[in-house]
Amino acid sequence: MQFETGHEVSIPRPIDEVFRVLAQPENLELLLRLSKLVTTFTLLGTEPGPTPSTRVTTFEFGERVPMFPGGLYKANVTMRVEQTVDSEACRVDYWSHTKGGTALSVHKVRTFAPTGDSTTVSETIHGEAPYGIHLIAGRTARKAHMAHMNSYIRLFED
């Protein structure tokens, strides 16, 4: 079953700076660790993409995900990710799937657009999980996604 969520934030910095911080592999661990759910991170590699303006980064990260309201039970989940960054289109495509356990896959699209002196960062998540789990995954994804994106600004504080 599928779930979907989206969110956007405005960051008071020029697009080239925001794109560098939120899209390039050298900042990936800092970006992921803004989420309170993330417990581990391993960069597996970076290589040229299918076009001259793209780069593909592969990595894994672990999360401790609340499974029931109130966080009474949390599951450890490891995700393997292939992320394609297109510097010409100012776009990040992120495909992930669980390693072991319950099958869960996510396609996240992050785009960047100049808005005056700021940059609007938009993300849409399309996920798929087994029936029943998709309800928990969707609810957790919405809440965690908004909190994570709202914390992006911390990477730009002086």
Model pLDDT for residues 19-51, shown as the tens digit of each residue? 999 999 999 999 999 998 899 999 999 999 999
Apex CA 87: angle with CA 146 and CA 96, to 5°?
A: 50
pLDDT per position in the chain (158 positions), as tens? 898 999 999 999 999 999 999 999 999 999 999 998 899 999 999 999 999 999 999 999 998 876 666 666 677 889 999 999 999 999 999 999 999 888 889 999 999 999 999 999 999 999 998 887 777 777 778 888 999 999 999 999 87
Annotated domain spans of the chain: 2-156
Query: pTM (2 decimals)?
Result: 0.89
CATH class of 2-156: alpha beta
Residue type, 76: N
Cα distance between residue 19 and residue 108, in whole Å: 16
CB 31 within 8 A of CB 144: no
What is the SS3 assignment for 72? coil
